[in-house]
Amino acid sequence: MTHQPAIPTLTAADPQIAELIEAEATRQHDKVRLIASENYVSQAVLEATGSVLTNKYSEGYSGKRYYEGQQLVDPIEDLAVERAKSVFGVEHANVQPYSGSPANLAAYLAFAEPGDTVLGMALPAGGHLTHGWSVSATGKWFNAVRYGVRKEDGRLDLDEVRDLARQHRPKLIFAGGTAIPRTIDFAAFAEIAREVDAVLVADIAHIAGLVAGGAHPSPVGHAQVITTTTHKTLRGPRGAMIMSDADHAKAVDKAVFPGLQGGPHNHTTAAIAVALGEASKPDFREYAHGIVANAKALAEALLERGFDLVSGGTDNHLLLVDLTSKHIGGKPAAKALDAAGIELNYNTVPFDPRKPFDPSGIRIGTAAVTTRGLKPQHQPKIAEWIDRAISAAATDDAKALHTIAGEVKELLAAYPVPGYRD
């Protein structure tokens, strides 16, 4: 049992860290990983991420650097940019943002001033911290107005979005979030943004792989600016991109550098290029549609077992489960599931009466299990494990959780993962 690529030099130099990395590789192999923001990258992406490119500083952009020795870095960044433009069909791409939150901050810096009004989805409704939530810098530095979902069906209320936009005339409107199980109507958002002369920013961090694979409608042609992480459903390294139309490209680039950061992480840029190359292949389209098929199958199986799903189901990779009817909070449920070999996260649900650190729900995603090769026929078994584990949590039945973890490990043994070899 070993991490791949092998780490013999690290093992000799720092056995404590090496041992933890080896143990993490085993953990990732042995558990059903259902965290919606996680995935397994390919070994090619792992190798690029761990390459000598981490040694090089490259402040600036290709052809316009502030350090010498960029003869090989520039072509790598150029490849990443061109592949992003091709995969997503955009006019401009910036692959330098360090992660999703800085990518969103760049949109604010590019198109708004401190104190300006911005409109985004409320965090408890499924939005992201950087869409103007109060504890984020975006909620402190801007006049943040928030939209939500309908209480009766848990779906986005576009009438509310339109009314709030007309009333507050925001400079920016964010479409997207972290716990939205339904298709985002980018065309409707664009119509609202045009009416109030706002810049529409589509945050597709969670669904980028689905968009790239044709399993979710694209915001291209609707949103002037598109932000995304490069991991999650896109199956790349921990990084981010900002894409835009040509008219907004210059402002985006200036916001990223020198506005928010110095030199890009070249090893991440190379890994992004590798992941985008993988996303351009026909089998990635199969993969993206497989994610959705698995999510729908898991949703159906959970509904049959009496679970309450926010909005009643899913259109994408993500399920949001309200555990109120199961008489258990999301946090103790998530911890019990982890002990049972099922990794996910506790999560608020819309109109949640409980606190964010002890909410009513759990969030589930199917990108990682799809990468492993699990199919819709496996989802009823996963639903059964979830049901049994939550029942065991209610009675503190540690033995039952251990039994489930053994069953999980036994099934997954037939589905190897990149980064681990038996």
Of 279, 307, 329, the one marking the end of a domain is: 279
**Token pair of 23 as six digits:** 């143990």
**Contact indicator for 25, 2 with CB cutoff of 8 Å:** yes
Query: Which of residues 226, 252, 279 is at a domain's end?
Result: 279
Q: 146 pairs with which residues across the strands? A: 120
Residue 319: strand pairing partners: 364
- Residues 70, 218: one domain? yes
Same domain for 273 and 305, yes or no, is no
Q: Domain holding 24: CATH number?
A: 3.90.1150.10
Residues 116 and 238 occupy one common structural domain = yes
> Would the annotation count 123 as a binding residue?
yes
Distances (CA, A) of 397 to 313, 353, 360, 382: 29, 27, 21, 19
pLDDT at 1: 56
Q: What is the DSSP letter of 359?
A: -
- Please check if 303 is assigned to a binding site: no
Question: Do residue 160 and residue 96 come from a single domain?
Answer: yes
Residue 276 among known ligand-binding residues? no
Amino acid at 189: F
Tell whether 18 and 57 lie within a shared domain: no
Catalytic residue set: 57, 59, 203, 229, 232, 238
Domain finish residue from 279, 297, 329: 279
The continuous run of DSSP H or E covering 16 comes out as: helix 15-30
344: annotated binding-site residue? no
270 touches 51 (CB < 8 A): yes
**Mean pLDDT computed over every residue of the chain:** 97
Spatial CB neighbours of 213, under 8 Å, sequence gap ≥ 6: 279, 284, 285, 286, 287, 288, 289
Q: 208 and 301 share a domain?
A: no
For residue 107, give both structure tokens: 């949109």
**Domain extent for 381:** 2-40+289-421
Residue 383 domain-assigned (yes or no): yes
pLDDT per 10-residue tile (average), the chain, 422 residues: 88 97 95 98 97 98 97 98 98 98 98 98 96 95 97 95 98 97 98 98 98 98 98 98 98 98 97 98 98 98 98 98 97 98 98 94 98 98 98 95 98 93 80
Q: Supply 275's token pair.
A: 């992941």
259 and 121 assigned to the same domain: yes
Q: Are residues 23 and 64 in the same domain?
A: no
> pTM for this one?
0.97
Q: Please count the structural domains in the chain.
A: 2
Number of helices (H), then strands (E), in the chain: 16, 17
Same domain, 30 and 68: no
* Helices 398-412 and 15-30, packing angle to 10 deg: 90
Predicted pLDDT of residue 127: 96
* β partners of residue 243: 93, 226
Is the same domain home to 221 and 364? no
